[in-house]
Structure 1
Amino acid sequence: MTSLPSPAFASRTFEELVAEADAVPTDGWDFSWFEGRATEARPSWGYARAMAERLGRASAALDIQTGGGEVLASAPRLPALTVATEGWPPNVAKATALLHPRGAVVVASAQDAPLPFADGAFDLVTSRHPVRAHWPEIARVLRPGGTYFAQHVGPSSAYELVEHFTGPLPEENRSARHPDGERAGAEAAGLEIVDLRAERLRMEFYDIGAVVHFLKKVVWMVPGFTVEAYLPQLRSLHERIEAEGPFVAHSARHLFEARRPPTA
């Protein structure tokens, strides 16, 4: 989400904004609907560009939890063997339509299931915003000397927004996905850390419709979110935005690059 605010929604009622956003499809990772309605700063490292550079050098690549395949498909060149996994059926269909013309295979695989590939099948494994990194499986499918390159969601991401709906969350929720914990998990699986960088990035929501679409699309933020279940919180946030301007939150991202050590 990188757009500037638009006045198009300024005169619309709470009910109109919410009804519109509630009806928008949520499949894939295309965030163009937020144009003029929300912004999110981008990490300084430029994940998609850096991922594309590594794909250009790889011979066999796996993209885990690919969503609708949009990030993978943005790479100018894909290796001869390129595979992507995805667990949500609407995204599987969308990724298949997008990636098959590029010669990539999309495999339906639940996010918590073992990766359905042989040991040492890939020299590059990538992922943008995996729900959870399964380090033993990532290490298993990497060839000796192979690389895991990913952008992860960090701790307390957008919690200013989340806690408006849930109230204060326990510290263990806030500290989940911490880079130090993920480093430990990767090292325990036998991977060597090549690079690990973290940033917190400003987010702004200019209308309540953007909030509704965001929470429906990024389903792990407020699990079980529906307009009906959270109508009072939505109305109070709408009134706050109208009175004070954009609602500000902060996302957390970290760049993760790890390597399976080469054999002796």
Structure 2
Amino acid sequence: MTGSSVPSVPSASDASDARFDTLVAEAGSVSVDGWDFSWLDGRATEQRPSWGYARAMADKLARAGAALDIQTGGGEVLASAPVLAPLTVATESWPPNIARATALLHPRGAAVVADSDEPPLPFADRAFDLVVSRHPVTAWWDEIARVLAPGGTYFSQQVGPESVFELVEYFLGPRAPEERGARDPRRARDDAEAAGLEVTDLRAERLRIEFLDIGAVVYFLRKVIWMVPGFTVGAYLPQLRSLHREIEEKGPFVAHSSRFLIEARKPEQPPAGLR
């Protein structure tokens, strides 16, 4: 009777490695165009700010005559409004997002303008009675004030300080104090007022995020490219493997986003020093 080999049984580590490879490959292959995060449904959760930006923005758009959405992304947030202003324009810099926003917004009668996200805005002075922006990379306050008509409103939800820094520092290590203090809403208020606007509302919240698997982390870092600049799976493979094991052993990776709402009004008559 001849001997026979016994098939090896995959270890728990082997199974974990296989799950890692599958999750990372899937998250690395999916499109990250636009600003729709629905791929993360069931993979990550995030609390929403209490003020309901999209709903409040839609209410203002329905009452505006001429509106501008700066850095619209793929146009998803603007397109969610049931009623747009009779004249609605959006700007965007990234070509894939320009195409996506155009497909969403042109059927609604809104124009999408390719713009570098650097001053000046490609519009005349006092062109809009409403300017909105969700998560602008930079708010160019002098330009916002310039294109607003007297009595017009700027309404924006922005990323606040130390947003998702638990994840950022997992990959990049501790951040410098000046980086941790960037995007302070109090600074936004000061800059808006320096541009001649009256800040009528300023609110800030920190919101819980849970990443349920490593695929969610890969997708998020591919999409939100400024979190870990130059992120690729290959460049951060050791950290990704370590975080995958941590999630499998301890549960979701928890981070906190930082958001603030700012609303500012352009006075009917500018202060004497700004005329």
Contact 2:119–2:140 under 8 Å retained in 1? no
Aligned to 1:98: 104
CA–CA distance in structure 2, aligned partners of residues 215 and 112 of structure 1: 24
Deviant stretches of 4+, over 4 Å: none
Aligned to 1:26: 32
Aligned to 1:73: 79
CA–CA distance in structure 1, aligned partners of residues 61 and 241 of structure 2: 45
Aligned to 1:222: 228
Aligned to 1:250: 256
Partner secondary structure for residue 254 of structure 2:
strand
Instruction: Give the gaps of 5 or more residues in structure 2.
Output: 1-15, 271-275
Aligned to 2:92: 86
Aligned to 2:265: 259
Partner of residue 213 from structure 1, selected from 205, 210, 219:
219
Partner secondary structure for residue 223 of structure 1:
coil
Aligned to 2:156: 150
Q: Which amino acid aligns with 1:193?
A: V
Instruction: Give the gaps of 5 or more residues in structure 1.
Output: 1-9
Q: Which amino acid aligns with 1:54?
A: K
Residue 212 of structure 1 and its aligned partner are, at CA, apart by 0.3
| Alignment of 1:51 onto 2:57 | yes
Residue 263 of structure 1 and its aligned partner are, at CA, apart by 2.0
CA–CA distance in structure 2, aligned partners of residues 235 and 254 of structure 1: 33
| Alignment of 1:178 onto 2:187 | no
Q: Identity of paired residues, percent?
A: 72
Partner of residue 199 from structure 1, selected from 202, 205, 209:
205
Partner of residue 161 from structure 1, selected from 160, 167, 172:
167
Contact 2:67–2:128 under 8 Å retained in 1? yes
CA–CA distance in structure 1, aligned partners of residues 130 and 265 of structure 2: 9
Aligned to 2:3: none
CA–CA distance in structure 2, aligned partners of residues 237 and 181 of structure 1: 34
Contact 2:119–2:143 under 8 Å retained in 1? no
| Alignment of 1:37 onto 2:43 | yes
| Alignment of 1:107 onto 2:121 | no
Deviations 1:216-262 (Å, cap 9, x if unpaired)?
10111111111111111111100100110000000000011001111
Partner secondary structure for residue 54 of structure 2:
helix
Aligned residues: 255
Partner secondary structure for residue 248 of structure 1:
strand
Deviations 1:134-157 (Å, cap 9, x if unpaired)?
000000000001000010000000
Residue 91 of structure 1 and its aligned partner are, at CA, apart by 0.1
CA–CA distance in structure 2, aligned partners of residues 218 and 112 of structure 1: 19
Partner of residue 127 from structure 1, selected from 122, 133, 156:
133
Q: Which amino acid aligns with 2:125?
A: D
Partner secondary structure for residue 67 of structure 2:
strand
CA–CA distance in structure 2, aligned partners of residues 22 and 114 of structure 1: 36
Partner secondary structure for residue 220 of structure 1:
coil
Q: Which amino acid aligns with 1:48?
A: A
CA–CA distance in structure 2, aligned partners of residues 78 and 183 of structure 1: 27
CA–CA distance in structure 2, aligned partners of residues 132 and 171 of structure 1: 19
CA–CA distance in structure 2, aligned partners of residues 15 and 159 of structure 1: 25
Partner secondary structure for residue 267 of structure 2:
coil
Residue 40 of structure 1 and its aligned partner are, at CA, apart by 0.3
Partner secondary structure for residue 203 of structure 1:
strand
CA–CA distance in structure 1, aligned partners of residues 185 and 150 of structure 2: 24
TM-score (norm 2): 0.91
Partner secondary structure for residue 219 of structure 1:
coil
Which of these two proteins has the greater Rg computed from alpha carbons?
A: 2
